[in-house]
Amino acid sequence: MKFTKKNRLRVFEGFAGYGGASFGLLKAKIPFDVIGYSDIDKEAIRIYSYNFPDVHNFGDITQIDEKGLPDFDLFTGGFPCQPFSTVGKGLGELDTRGTLFGDIIRICQEKQPSYILLENVKGLAVGKHKPTFNKIISELNRIGYDVDWAVLNSKNYGIPQNRERLWIFAYKGKFPEGFSIVPKPIELKYRLKDFLDKEPEKELYRTQKQIDRIKELHNVEQFVVEEPLCYDYYNRKLRTDAVCMTVTPPEHNVIRIVEPLKKGVEQFRKLSTNEHFRLMGFKIDENNQEIKFPPEMTYAQLGRRAGNGWDVNLVGILMKHIFSQL
């Protein structure tokens, strides 16, 4: 399907976050209009409205009157992943947030968009959560959609981040013969160092006393590297492949950057805000800033939204690939 300036893709962003679908469509250079979005997270709304001030927020998706929504062609949504994650309590459907998928079905059954793109953690499709995943697919089938899905990793599409996410694409009717949601992998030409700030803020660095304490707790003799590398605080190991572990909200406190010694002193720090978002697919440098940050937002608030967001580089590749086949 080819969209043009006269035939623009109409989009509704459910669970919109910072607008990962919109930024991805911009990356893919697909002409589109967002007829509205839905989110209740105050931090996400601040970022979204700062970047897309003319788009209306319909608020809590559970309270949306589906009959009152404008028509749209594509529903997108990264519905809350906490209940399905393999990290944490693993509550699955026992968590009431799992029922939010029912609101997606309710809205799409009424509006009948041609396309639905959903995202979640890869754990939704395996193990004890497989019955929940199968139910999601069957519900999409029930309301008239053909479904394809895949687990895609950001590091296979140009971003040095090991971020595996489940992508589900539903098409009204039947897929063309040979359709596949999986884009051709892209050789990773970049290393983590290419996504880091040239002059990180001093506040990001740990003191030698803090570093010594970490070495003691983690049984590490010394943090010595030839180039900046990611230290996985949770698993207590240094990634030597020059790829960052999965970007997560700062409260999980698991990503650290180890830099080469400076005058014989170990360098150990947190990611900056810009680094968080570069690893989520945004170009941010002195000449280009694809996402704008509300000036009043804190480091923790912005980092939380990055960790819960979409890799917009991958979204752009995925969108372009999907619509080239329809």
Is 244 among the catalytic positions?
A: no
If DSSP codes are grouped into helix, strand and coil, which group holds residue 97?
helix
Catalytic residue among 81, 108, 230, 244: 81
Note the helical H segments in 180-298. 208-218, 273-278
If DSSP codes are grouped into helix, strand and coil, which group holds residue 68?
helix
Are residues 75 and 113 in contact, defined by beta-carbon separation less than 8 angstroms? yes
If DSSP codes are grouped into helix, strand and coil, which group holds residue 26?
helix
Residue in 26, 8, 15, 325 with CA at minimum distance from that of residue 148: 325
Provide the pairing of β-strand 265-269 with 255-262: antiparallel
Contacts by residues 248-254 (CB-CB < 8 Å, ≥ 24 positions apart): 248/307, 249/303, 249/304, 249/306, 249/307, 249/308, 250/299, 250/300, 250/303, 250/304, 250/307, 251/300, 251/304, 252/307
Amino acid (1-letter code) at residue 307: G
Tokens of 136: 């999601």
* Partners of residue 166 on adjacent β-strands: 120, 151
Catalytic machinery residues:
81
